[in-house]
Amino acid sequence: MATPSPLSARDQTFLRRAIALSAQARREGHHPFGALVVSAAGEVVAEGINGARLPGGDPTRHAELVAVSRAARQLPPDALAACTLYTSAEPCAMCAGATYWCGVGRVVYALSEARLLTLTGRHPENPTLDLPCRDVFIRGQRVVEVVGPALEDEAAAVHVGFWA
């Protein structure tokens, strides 16, 4: 497990916004995950909540994928490279891939995949992959900075009772 990195005040603010988005997703009946992309200037470019819950949902509509794909439609590659993806949970392999392919240069996440598994157990709606996002990014040809886990207890609180 990665050692938690100290967060700047700005990182804490935006990471808490991602956690708030995860609470919004839960209130709306979705899996409790939220994410946002923030520019180098500190402007929110795009937000996303999970929309993967079946029936009616799309299993690929994870919050991170929603946020980075929206950002990629708005910004050129050089601006995306300077952006940060803030997410309530560590990006899964699919979302890490989407983040890489969209060109976002930095990821800050709250809840680790390992901690998420302790909350979800073997729930059929969230068959977690034991594949840290760092392992996905390190295979790429460009660097994606990763910070996390951080604020794990705050992010975990949103999941309590959801996966029962």
HSE at residue 17, side-chain half, CA atoms within 13 A, is 19
Query: Does the annotation mark 64 as catalytic?
Result: yes
Coil/strand/helix, residue 23: helix
Q: Are strands 145-147 and 106-111 parallel, antiparallel or unpaired?
A: parallel
d(Cα 87, Cα 74) in Å, to the nearest integer? 19
Which among 28, 43, 47, 64 is annotated as catalytic? 64
CB atoms within 10 A of CB 32: 27
* Catalytic residue ranges: 64
